[in-house]
Amino acid sequence: MTALLEQNTAVSSVNDLGISQAELTAIVEEYAGTNTDVKTPELVESKTLQLSENYPSSTANRAAWTHHAVNWSETDKPKIAIIIDDLGLDEEATYTFAKMTGPLTLAYLPYAEHLEAQTKLIREAGHELMVHLPMQSQRETADPGDNALLADLTFDEFSKRLEWNLSRFDNYVGINNHMGSSLTENPGLMVRVMARLKRDGHLFVDSLTTPDSVGVRAANAVNVPYAKRDVFLDNERNPDYIRGQIATLERIARKRGYAVGIGHPYPETITELKRWQETLEGKELQLVPISQIVNITNERRKIVTK
C-alpha cells in the first residue's frame, strides 16, 4: 500500500516540473524525429519474459528494455536487484563479474575503452547491462568525465553528447546517472534525457545522488519505465558497513516486495556480495535483473493510474 501511495504521489506531481504539456510533447517529438527506427516504449508480448496480458501484442519494434533484458523467473519471493556502477575503466573487474553468478546489473561508463568486448562478456555471463550516464554534480571538484551532460551546454551540444553516450555499446536495457546531483534537479534537461530514452524504449534508474532529483517525475511525464535506488551499498568501503547496507536492502524487499541496491566494483563489495549470494536461497529472497524490478513498478503504476 505504501508503494502504491508513493507511486500515486509521483503521478500527480508531474505538473510540478513546470513544463507545459505542449512543451513536453514538442520535446518528445524532437527526439523521436531524429529516429529512423522508432520503437515503442510500451511493453510488448514476449513468451520468454512472461509479460502481462495487458501489453500491446505487436512483436515488431520491441522496446529496448525488454529486448535486452535477461530472462525473468517468476517466483513469489521478495526481489532484489544489485546494480554495480562505474564499470569499464578497470577491465579486471569485468572479468571478476563475468565469473560471478547473477543476474547482476552492470552499469558501464561510456568513456571507458574496449566497451564492446567488456559488455559482450558480461551479457554472455547472464548479467544485465546499463549505460552509466555521466551528469553534472553539485560539487565543483567532482568531474563526471568526458562528454558528461552539463546544464550550461547548448541544446544541440546536449543532444550530441546524449547520443554519443548512448552509442558506445549495445544490448543495454537503459541508463542510470553517474554523479548528476546538479543535472537531475533540472526538469527541462531531464525531460530531454527521458525523451531520448523513450525513443528506443530504454528504462531509467534514478541513482538518487540528490534527494531533490526530478528524474522519476520526468520519466513519469514522458512515460519512460523507471526504478530508483533504495540503498547505496558501499559509501563506506568497510565490510561491516556493507553487510549492514545489504541487511537494510533485504528489509525493504521483504516489506515492499522489491528493492534496488547500488554498489561499486570494490574488492570489499565483491567479497560481501559473493557471501550474500550464497545465503539467498535459505532467506527466500530472489536476485533479479533491474528490468524485472522495473516491470513490477510499471505494473503497479498502471493499477494506480487506471
Name the residues that contact Zn ion, by CB under 5 A: 85-86, 178
Strands 128-135 and 258-263: unpaired
Whether cis (ω within 30° of 0) applies to the bond prior to 103 is yes
Residues 6+ apart with CB under 8 A from 73: 286, 288
Nearer to Zn ion, 58 or 235 (CB): 235
**Backbone CA torsion sign across 122, 127, 132, 138:** negative
Nearer to Zn ion, 85 or 234 (CB): 85
H-only helix segments in the chain: 2-12, 21-33, 64-67, 91-99, 115-124, 155-165, 187-200, 215-222, 239-256, 267-283, 290-305
Tell me how far, at minimum, the Cβ of 285 lies from Zn ion, in Å. 26
- The whole-angstrom separation of Cα 7 and Cα 38 is 28
Among candidates 90, 84, 85, which has minimal Cα distance to 135? Answer: 85
**Backbone CA torsion sign across 198, 62, 161, 125:** positive
Q: Is 260 exposed, middle or buried (CB count within 10 Å of its CB: 0-12, 13-18, 19+)?
A: buried
Nearer to Zn ion, 17 or 87 (CB): 87
Nearer to Zn ion, 23 or 143 (CB): 143
What separation in angstroms does the CA of 204 have from each of 75, 121, 167, 268?
24, 23, 16, 27
Tell me how far, at minimum, the Cβ of 262 lies from Zn ion, in Å. 9
Nearer to Zn ion, 86 or 128 (CB): 86
Tell me how far, at minimum, the Cβ of 286 lies from Zn ion, in Å. 26
Q: Which helix H or strand E contains 195, and what residues bound it?
A: helix 187-200
Taking CB positions, which residue lies at the least distance from Zn ion?
178
Nearer to Zn ion, 86 or 200 (CB): 86
Tell me how far, at minimum, the Cβ of 207 lies from Zn ion, in Å. 7
Q: How far is CA 28 from the centre of its chain?
A: 20
Tell me how far, at minimum, the Cβ of 290 lies from Zn ion, in Å. 15
143 φ, ψ (degrees, to nearest 5): -100, 110
Tell me how far, at minimum, the Cβ of 85 lies from Zn ion, in Å. 4
Tell me how far, at minimum, the Cβ of 109 lies from Zn ion, in Å. 7
Nearer to Zn ion, 148 or 273 (CB): 148
Tell me how far, at minimum, the Cβ of 251 lies from Zn ion, in Å. 25
Nearer to Zn ion, 41 or 134 (CB): 134
